[in-house]
Structure 1
């Protein structure tokens, strides 16, 4: 009664007119009926307009108010009064204008259908309060009158709530081409609900127009953990502590009621971080990649409950102890893919599988099980920040840790790297990773210890400087030392982990501008031994086939101690060759190695006797006439000389010294001679001594005698420790060779590079890495440039190296961090990280791959190639490179076997040199080798 009196408003009309700035005749004593957010908004706005008293009358208790608690609290602070358990009965007025409101007090009775206790009136509790304005915020209803006279929608179904009826999944009304949604379908609800209906209808209309039939978008398949009361809280309370919601700072009530300005001031940075940290991230981390969920969605499976009984948290916590892999057996569907792959493909036996998987101590953390698990039963453990789940941006790159250069996929959100995965179809690893590549690849990039500006030594201390100052000082000092002490007083140590472009520019600076061949890198001796030995015999300085061919060989002759340590995916391939493919693995090492457990047999030969062992094996093949006579006659030269050179070799003495039965040694020779395919694999440590090149020559001789060159599944496979060891040698980062493996003593090669670089080049070998350290110790090296290496921390004889660097008159270090070597430097140049710069690298199988920037570098550091290009332009103002591609384009013009490996082709994937169109096998055929092959007789 009295709702038609002047001064009575509906809540929505009041707020609309207020928003549109229409004139409103406001009262001084305002009563607002209702308990939702509309009532609160009307009340708080009335206070701001200047009402003396504002009272909200609500028929239930405070706990049952649908308005948000924050809004209720804010209204109370601003002076709004609340009458709870009060129901308006009638309004009284005078001269057509409202003056009083009568309400009756209520008490809560039994719960109604919604579960809330139903309010019932209290007899004799009627109360009158003075009002001159009443706002009814007690609900809305759809107005269907506009469509009642519209013949196009005649017959559209309606409900008893005065809304349109429709199919729940598609929101199709039953009238051809007519769909509905929003408040006219739901009744008064939220904007979010209307938006959801809009999306649902859009998809339904799309499917209707496409398929000519009505059906809704398929629903996502979800299995729920249960509500907060049902789940085991221990899974969260063991990891986090309870924290209250962060309070939003607001203007003081006395200030905010005077205007309509924003009252929330925003959380501080610390407050925002604390609030974000409250999130438990309790959803499944595999939600966006779960194949079970995807297939169930595709086939229309509907369930919201668990498929199997829960395994208690206490039991899971005792099993879930892996450093990198999180285990949740409740999500396991018993497909056993993890077990089968670990047992027969990775061959690590790292998973026990009874009813669900358990990771045991044999696990090598390759991550293969993570890739294969179709659910979230095995997930990567995210140790820092919130684990998601997230929709990642995926960027392809490759692993920087060893010479294999396995393909990797970086899963990035924003500018944060979360996980690393791989592609099963991409060479060289075809889905394999190791612990380093999968879990230890790029953590250093976010280190706060990274350098952000060049450092220059002034008055004995390193202080920050500009790039111009630092580079100008480097150029000036190296020119001064060159003039005062000559070119032999200068040296550069490059890096087998730096790009081809960086190594190429560094050697070019020292050769073309400073006239110096004192160029090498840690481990260069081993690669030089392989280059020398293979070039002498085969005419090439690198692996003769692809890494993927190794495991296919009928016999694999594996030499060296560090295959497992330095090249884990090759070790995996050897295990798989033995166990799964039933091929034979034979090992030769100076100490017991893990691969020796599967070898047939495993020979333990001291380093000093390994060359004798190989030569004795060659002699036995010759004596027993086991070698491939047709192959040798047709493709080789020098077998008679080889036989003569081995005249003093006594293979019986060799086997006796090694405690090997002569029959075992003869069986080894026959196995190599009769196998359909033979792979000769050796790790970098095999060639790290003075006999390294001769061992490589012996291996090449064995390969020629068995006739297993130029064919698939066979060949010679040198393995390198670092990602770009092969590339560094290809780029001429060697005291003996120009780019392209051209000897510095080759007069034609010297003339060629002198013409290319417009400079007079030195034609005598320079200092090796070890010779550079020795010469620095003797103060013969006056100026030294160290790129990306910290020999004090990584090389043997560290104290000697430290003393040597202290003797250098002018030391330059280019690195991401201030290393022990950098602390002794006169100039430190900060470089960007592996995934922050562009360039190319060439792995141990001759595969050149393009490095793409995946993460944004911190401000200050520059890419290695850019630093060296800027230094070169100061030494030779006529030289300029615009980007990494311009450096690479010069490389492929000076290194003949890189011809065809264009930047554009590398965009599509890595390629092995020499480039052959329509042939991606990577096999070096006889067209690529010396004609004829030459037996080595040194």
Structure 2
């Protein structure tokens, strides 16, 4: 049904607009320029400044265009002497208490107040208080944090920062205090900003139209008109936020902004997106190739380092065979980098021993969703969150791992009334605002989900029509879930059975329900079973293949999805085409001009054992750091030390690089042209925001040089040429080229150059399995491999925190992030702390059967009794000295989330 159009006159001209539009939107849509100061579409729409006033016939006063709706027959005048004087007066009122220090203000050239003053010819406010100078800045609640500077004297009380915090960040850390001329932006009771729920996302800074709010790290780094702007993609988590980076004349990145209206983030950023670019400026960057001699590195020329590496790899290949070599791609690197490295492994070396760090986070997603649905990827786009009536979040601390997506989830709950169900062993920030929160014992996800689905079966809440038309396996599934009565499930999960039943009814009864999960589901020895159970949940209710529904595994690094799409996996070529499939193999053999192995290779989680047993003699690593990210890293170190040769491409001297025989300095993500594929399958174009170090090279370029030196020529003109080869060999990427991405990202599958991309997978029940039907699998609950006992009575779970990232190579070289959270800690419940006589902030020793670390304690309400949490970002106290290397038998992912430990006072 089309929108009702109403007749309106603007400056004497007739127009028709949809009913309900504001005057501002209507005028701007047909080219009228209405000045604003306090207004931000969808964020701040309060009409506080009065800059947008217009005349409306028969109205007694001027109307504020941003908050006044058009009506049928309305006659609007946008420019007259009365309007001009009113706008000028309102502007002078805003300037009355504003210092005129533009020449030394960091917002100079990026200040909307300055621009309006120029437009209206105002040099000095008529209302300016007669004083020689403004008072010295007063101490505020913002002064103690390292991220944001607030100068109240420059504040024009437009409320944009307050509204951005409330409506965009969904935090409400700040508000308006006092009244009248004493009004000021403040935290509650003027407590320090870090004492609020603020996540330092910088939404307030980006919303500020003047210089009242500025990112502290960019102060004094140059006026915006002297900075060079580049639009690219954030290189941290898999959300794929579009970001503008600003470079100074010294080639340093100094500022970041979210790109308004760009998908998927719509201008939002998190603290790492806002501040985390600083690591590329570090003086710790690798800038020269290094070769180790007598246990020490020396600088080498590129020609020498390439020749040395090619010779050593060829010698090992000739002596032991190609499968004595392992190759690692990286989710921190581009699609083009990962395509090149897997081609290098398969065509130049001759092995399928190629993997990437997705093995450690979403290998079980690939196995589980691939088996159930035929496609191992998120089904729905981020923008589709707004169409969900129920959001089911399990095993995902979304506010810390994917903060921007968490904002959309909270926005859907707050503004549209959607229900939020959170299942997590930790009481995360998102759990605190959930309608239903289930705090289940780590490792009991299958039992919990089976219990929920038994409720659905028993109460007739399954979608029988969908099941019959679009699935298979339901009968065997029912036989299994029938054994999971709520009494049993409650005992296993330690959750009240009434809560489990309520969650089941709410999810199943929703018109539209969507699921989100991350590594709280995947990083288990039963990770594949967990994912299959999530698929079952969506399939038996029919909550898939439609808007507002689906399954969304959120990717932890910028290119987890893309590195797998590119075939940096031991059993598939690009596009998940099986190496054991003769037809697929023949296609790639013809394209690459070589014979290819049909034997699936080793996953990275088996590289260490293979090296210790003598089967693996060399590893070539592109951007990976297994000595921080693998479980039981003492064992992994022994494996790497047993190798005959280790080559590493890196931007810093990582823990793994320290063991290498040769190191190649590579370009960072913000120095590259190429593509990332984000968590919603959106292929996005990266553009270099700064020059790479003079003697560093692009990752795909380094790999190509080594391959060529080994006798297999790999020559590409640029990254775009690599993507063209990807398109020629990968059906889901066939229509994706750099020239198409200039206008915006495309979601695969995109089978032709004319195709617009696919927003929703399996639309209408079209699954990618051979018979077109999804598979509902019977899944039995299996205990974790290592549970607490008398010697190790506490359960340890690990994960990420908001202010750091992965192995810490990048985020710990960002001063504000490392200053704010400089060391690791163990999160422990008040009950456990009391039993162990441990105080908050005390240093303790945490031990498992594999090792021990010393960390500070944080007594918190997040973990349940008997469970502690430690992040894995800190090399000085690495959680992965403790974690269990037990593997999922299908996906070969380790059990990071469950290990038995003990805690001792020091």
CA distance 1:384–1:231, shift in 2 (3 Å): closer
Shift of 1:796: 4.1
What is the CA–CA distance in structure 2 between the aligned matches of 1:822 and 1:783, rounded to whole Å? 14
Range with bigger deviation, 417-426 or 718-727: 417-426
CA distance 1:331–1:745, shift in 2 (3 Å): same
What is the CA–CA distance in structure 2 between the aligned matches of 1:736 and 1:528, rounded to whole Å? 12
> 1:290 maps to which residue?
111
CA distance 1:892–1:222, shift in 2 (3 Å): farther
> 2:833 maps to which residue?
none
Shift of 1:674: 1.5
What is the CA–CA distance in structure 2 between the aligned matches of 1:660 and 1:369, rounded to whole Å? 39
Pairs within 5 Å for 1:509-528: 509-528=344-363
Pairs within 5 Å for 1:64-213: none
Shift of 1:894: 1.4
What is the CA–CA distance in structure 1 between the aligned matches of 2:678 and 2:161, rounded to whole Å? 29
Is residue 343 from structure 1 mapped to residue 166 from structure 2 by the alignment?
yes
Range with bigger deviation, 387-396 or 500-509: 387-396
Shift of 1:812: 0.3
Pairs within 5 Å for 1:794-809: 794-809=629-644
What is the CA–CA distance in structure 1 between the aligned matches of 2:491 and 2:645, rounded to whole Å? 54
Contact 2:547 2:760 in 1 (8 A): yes
CA distance 1:418–1:932, shift in 2 (3 Å): same
CA distance 1:810–1:569, shift in 2 (3 Å): same
Contact 2:767 2:773 in 1 (8 A): no
Is residue 891 from structure 1 mapped to residue 726 from structure 2 by the alignment?
yes
Deviations 1:39-70, CA, capped at 9 Å, x for gaps: xxxxxxxxxxxxxxxxxxxxxxxxxxxxxxxx
Is residue 434 from structure 1 mapped to residue 265 from structure 2 by the alignment?
no
Work out which of the residue numbers 480, 483, 486 in structure 1 matches 2:321.
486
Pairs within 5 Å for 1:900-911: 900-911=735-746
Contact 1:561 1:590 in 2 (8 A): no
Range with bigger deviation, 482-491 or 745-754: 745-754
Pairs within 5 Å for 1:577-588: 577-588=412-423
Is residue 881 from structure 1 mapped to residue 720 from structure 2 by the alignment?
no
CA distance 1:319–1:664, shift in 2 (3 Å): closer
Give ranges in structure 2 of 5+ residues lacking alignment: 1-86, 178-182, 188-192, 780-906
Contact 1:320 1:328 in 2 (8 A): no
What is the CA–CA distance in structure 2 between the aligned matches of 1:795 and 1:305, rounded to whole Å? 66
CA distance 1:800–1:308, shift in 2 (3 Å): farther
CA distance 1:521–1:764, shift in 2 (3 Å): same
What is the CA–CA distance in structure 1 between the aligned matches of 2:324 and 2:583, rounded to whole Å? 26
CA distance 1:871–1:677, shift in 2 (3 Å): same
CA distance 1:531–1:389, shift in 2 (3 Å): closer
Shift of 1:413: 3.0
Contact 1:308 1:330 in 2 (8 A): no
The alignment partner of 1:773 has SS state of helix
What is the CA–CA distance in structure 2 between the aligned matches of 1:411 and 1:315, rounded to whole Å? 30
The alignment partner of 1:823 has SS state of helix
What is the CA–CA distance in structure 2 between the aligned matches of 1:752 and 1:368, rounded to whole Å? 49
Aligned residue pairs: how many?
A: 671
Work out which of the residue numbers 450, 474, 483 in structure 2 matches 1:615.
450
CA distance 1:579–1:231, shift in 2 (3 Å): closer
What is the CA–CA distance in structure 1 between the aligned matches of 2:324 and 2:775, rounded to whole Å? 38
Shift of 1:299: 4.1
CA distance 1:421–1:693, shift in 2 (3 Å): same
CA distance 1:626–1:445, shift in 2 (3 Å): same
Range with bigger deviation, 574-583 or 731-740: 574-583
CA distance 1:493–1:878, shift in 2 (3 Å): closer
What is the CA–CA distance in structure 1 between the aligned matches of 2:527 and 2:400, rounded to whole Å? 20
Shift of 1:222: 10
What is the CA–CA distance in structure 2 between the aligned matches of 1:391 and 1:507, rounded to whole Å? 41
What is the CA–CA distance in structure 1 between the aligned matches of 2:465 and 2:128, rounded to whole Å? 66
The alignment partner of 2:361 has SS state of helix
The alignment partner of 1:315 has SS state of coil
Q: Which has the higher contact order (CA 8 A, sep 6+)?
A: 2
The alignment partner of 2:362 has SS state of helix
The alignment partner of 2:443 has SS state of helix
Shift of 1:664: 2.7
Work out which of the residue numbers 602, 611, 616 in structure 2 matches 1:781.
616
Deviations 1:598-619, CA, capped at 9 Å, x for gaps: 1121111223211111122222
Contact 1:494 1:787 in 2 (8 A): yes
CA distance 1:381–1:761, shift in 2 (3 Å): same
The alignment partner of 1:544 has SS state of coil
CA distance 1:425–1:790, shift in 2 (3 Å): same
> 2:20 maps to which residue?
none
CA distance 1:647–1:843, shift in 2 (3 Å): same
Shift of 1:386: 4.1
Pairs within 5 Å for 1:443-592: 443-592=278-427
Deviations 1:815-851, CA, capped at 9 Å, x for gaps: 1122232222111111011121211111111111111
Pairs within 5 Å for 1:706-745: 706-745=541-580
What is the CA–CA distance in structure 2 between the aligned matches of 1:377 and 1:827, rounded to whole Å? 49
Pairs within 5 Å for 1:267-416: 283-301=104-122, 303-304=124-125, 307=128, 312-313=135-136, 315-316=138-139, 319-354=142-177, 355-359=183-187, 360=193, 361=195, 362-382=197-217, 385-388=220-223, 390-414=225-249, 415-416=251-252
The alignment partner of 1:607 has SS state of coil
Is residue 662 from structure 1 mapped to residue 497 from structure 2 by the alignment?
yes
> 1:120 maps to which residue?
none
Work out which of the residue numbers 254, 270, 285 in structure 2 matches 1:418.
254
Contact 2:347 2:712 in 1 (8 A): no
CA distance 1:537–1:306, shift in 2 (3 Å): farther
What is the CA–CA distance in structure 2 between the aligned matches of 1:385 and 1:809, rounded to whole Å? 50
What is the CA–CA distance in structure 1 between the aligned matches of 2:260 and 2:314, rounded to whole Å? 51
Give ranges in structure 1 of 5+ residues lacking alignment: 1-217, 233-279
**CA RMSD, aligned part only?**
2.9
Deviations 1:748-800, CA, capped at 9 Å, x for gaps: 32333233323232223222121112222333311111111222244443333
Deviations 1:394-434, CA, capped at 9 Å, x for gaps: 21011111011111001223223221001121011111100
Shift of 1:436: 0.3
What is the CA–CA distance in structure 2 between the aligned matches of 1:882 and 1:876, rounded to whole Å? 19
Contact 1:407 1:428 in 2 (8 A): yes
> 1:176 maps to which residue?
none
> 1:933 maps to which residue?
774
What is the CA–CA distance in structure 2 between the aligned matches of 1:882 and 1:412, rounded to whole Å? 26
What is the CA–CA distance in structure 2 between the aligned matches of 1:409 and 1:523, rounded to whole Å? 27
Contact 1:786 1:812 in 2 (8 A): yes
CA distance 1:515–1:455, shift in 2 (3 Å): same
Contact 1:812 1:827 in 2 (8 A): yes
What is the CA–CA distance in structure 1 between the aligned matches of 2:332 and 2:229, rounded to whole Å? 23
Shift of 1:391: 4.0
Q: Return the TM-score normalized by structure 1.
A: 0.68
Contact 2:422 2:434 in 1 (8 A): yes
Contact 1:553 1:583 in 2 (8 A): yes
CA distance 1:222–1:443, shift in 2 (3 Å): farther
The alignment partner of 1:533 has SS state of helix
CA distance 1:283–1:404, shift in 2 (3 Å): same
Pairs within 5 Å for 1:601-680: 601-680=436-515
> 1:85 maps to which residue?
none
CA distance 1:747–1:389, shift in 2 (3 Å): closer
The alignment partner of 1:740 has SS state of helix
Q: Return the TM-score normalized by structure 2.
A: 0.70
Work out which of the residue numbers 583, 593, 601 in structure 2 matches 1:766.
601
Contact 1:831 1:864 in 2 (8 A): yes
> 1:13 maps to which residue?
none
CA distance 1:468–1:319, shift in 2 (3 Å): closer
